[in-house]
Chains A and B, each alone.
Chain A
Amino acid sequence: MNQALPIEGYLVVGALMFAIGAWGALIRRNAVVVFMCIELMINGVVLTLVAFGDYLPQAGGVGASYAVLVIAIAAAEVAVGLAIVLAVFRSRRTVNVDEANLMKW
């Protein structure tokens, strides 16, 4: 019969997604790509959350409903985020975060 994957597998994949997303968010300069990387971070967290929710004996599957909550919040963040990126693009015709340098220190 199918043997269920051990929880460590899910946790490692989730941590890797989080780390790759964080790395990308730090090194990429295009604001839209930065947002994609942040989404990757959040999805890594959601994967971890769902894995915990399924495997923990005392959780009773509540983790999945928390995951739905988190996905909705992430969607709201990105909606506001893209609106702000659009506002930046309108005022200076670029979404490069390096060129956002009106204010320093």
Chain B
Amino acid sequence: MGVVTAETFVGLIPELVTLGFLVLVLLLGVFNPQSPNQTAALAALGTVAVFASTVVLLASGFSGSFFGDGFVVDNFALYFKLVVSASAFFAVLAAARWAAGTGDAPEYLALILAVVLGSLLLVSMRDLFGIFLALELATIPSYALVAFDRSRRESSEGAMKYLVTGVIASAILLYGMVLIYGVAGSAALADVAEVFTGQLSPVAVLGLVLLVSGFAFKLSAVPFHFWTPDAYQGAPTSAAAFLSVAPKAATFAVLLRILLEGMPEAAATWTSVMVFLAIATMFVGNLFALRQRNVRRMLAYSSVAHSGYILAAFAALQGSAVPTAVEAVLIYSAAYAVMNLGAFLVIDLVGEDSTSYNGLIRNRPGIAVCMGIFMAALVGLPPLSGFWGKAWVIFAGAEAGTVALYVVIGAVVVNSVLSVPYYFGIVRNMFFEEPKEMTEEPKGTGAVTASVYVLAAATVLFGLFVGPLSALARASGLL
């Protein structure tokens, strides 16, 4: 208990590696400012090193809890660390050229690595205030990432909206945590679980409601989603791609941990909240996405809708359905990371106006086919990655088998149909419209194009990974 041993450092390797590379990237920027490409290569190497060290920890079956049970390394945490570091790798590749153009590449890349560090810590935390600290470590740099594009006024405006709502959300989340701490007398999730049994006291219910509201802000769940489209439209594309995937997956993971480890006996209370959140989030995200002309803004609303699909799995976290629901969250997070990163990288290559996709199949057939794959995956067509995510959500809901869950499943299906027009609007533009005049050189680097192909392949072949992923999820230690 509380003693730092060599094993502690082994458990912290992914975080320590991230921290080391963060410092190195900043130092390289100071001492060698003329070489943004080297800086980007170093940052990409850092994310690869984090990924590799996490794979080693996972393969060696390492697990344990440190710092008085405040920090835990289990398969569940390691799984999300893989998702975070892999998406950070693609985000760094996408960011390299744009960041070099701003002249502040080291700062931009260091901010990305700071978000990675926060997300890695977040999925391992098992103490309310540790969770708050890691969540803020992931969130505060992301405000700066959104504001980074000083050539566009939308960037600072989106950042201000993100910041004001985000900080208010943090205060609400913190109040919820403090009330729970006051009721439980301890911030450790194991002690919280002892209080959340039987008849809940009013203060405990208030704390739970404030906590879930704060997380709903961070996950852009309705009615707390207003910052999402503005922040993602204003942010540099690589930042929007990264923020919509990695910190969000980590936040879902930690919410799952709080609910399952900290208040399993109160499941009836919070699953009913989740039913409402999931249905509202799916419908609002899809209905607002339908009317967007800006592809980036459309994908922002689509990310709201996909948060709703994942929240539908949270609503199924009851009774015998808990293992399937946990699997659904894990599989959906990975599936969404693959397809959404790919779609954002294509925006980086082609542009954010929907007319710039006109006739793309003739100008750049490879990219057009990849974008078609990502759009079909976001709709949830089999056998692409999004289909497996939704299939698991539906399995979990069916297994829970209450009336409310059947309504949620119905909403998932209806929303998948609702989302067809806006995703396939892009596909129609690419395949059936006349190409615009080619006025500019194709943007982007070989690295980004290659990443798009890799992500498209992963989206198509995701079905092959589903078996191992669900086995990993079953061994996650949370069930």
Q: Which residue numbers of A lie inside 8 Å of B, CB to CB?
A: 18, 21-22, 25, 31, 34-35, 38, 41-42, 44-45, 48-49, 52, 56-59, 62-63, 66, 69-70, 73, 76-77, 80-81, 83-85, 87-88, 91-92, 97, 100, 102-103, 105
In whole Å, how far is B258's beta carbon from the nearest beta carbon of chain A? 17
Contacting residues, chain A, for B144 (C-beta < 8 A) = 80, 83-84
Residue in A52, A66, A85, A92 whose Cβ sees the most chain B Cβ within 10 Å: A66
Q: Is there contact, CB below 8 Å, between B133 and A73?
A: yes
Q: Is there contact, CB below 8 Å, between A84 and B136?
A: no
Contacting residues, chain B, for A58 (C-beta < 8 A) = 185-186
Q: Does B307 contact A (CB under 8 A)?
A: no
Residue in B160, B230, B233, B297 whose Cβ sees the most chain A Cβ within 10 Å: B160
Q: Does B298 contact A (CB under 8 A)?
A: no
Name B187's closest neighbour in chain A (CB-CB). A66
Q: Is there contact, CB below 8 Å, between B140 and A85?
A: no
In whole Å, how far is B438's beta carbon from the nearest beta carbon of chain A? 29
9 A–B contacts from the bound complex (CB under 8 Å): A38-B171, A45-B174, A45-B175, A56-B185, A62-B187, A66-B181, A100-B161, A103-B233, A105-B229
**Inter-chain pairs besides A41-B171, A63-B181, A84-B163, 19 sampled, C-beta below 8 Å:** A18-B171, A22-B168, A38-B171, A41-B175, A44-B175, A45-B171, A48-B178, A52-B181, A58-B185, A66-B129, A66-B187, A70-B129, A70-B132, A77-B167, A81-B164, A88-B160, A103-B229, A105-B229, A105-B288
- The 4 A-B pairs with the shortest beta carbon distances in the complex, nearest first, are A52-B182, A41-B171, A58-B185, A87-B156
Which bucket holds chain B's interface residue count?
A: 35 or more
Name B165's closest neighbour in chain A (CB-CB). A25
Q: Is there contact, CB below 8 Å, between A81 and B185?
A: no
Given that A42-B174, A56-B185 are known contacts, is A84 also in contact with B154, CB under 8 Å in the complex? no
Alpha-carbon distance between A88 and B181 when the two chains are bound, in angstroms: 37
Q: Is there contact, CB below 8 Å, between A97 and B167?
A: no
Contacting residues, chain A, for B187 (C-beta < 8 A) = 62, 66
Alpha-carbon distance between A81 and B168 when the two chains are bound, in angstroms: 12
In whole Å, how far is A98's beta carbon from the nearest beta carbon of chain B? 12
Q: Is there contact, CB below 8 Å, between B174 and A84?
A: no
Contacting residues, chain A, for B158 (C-beta < 8 A) = 103
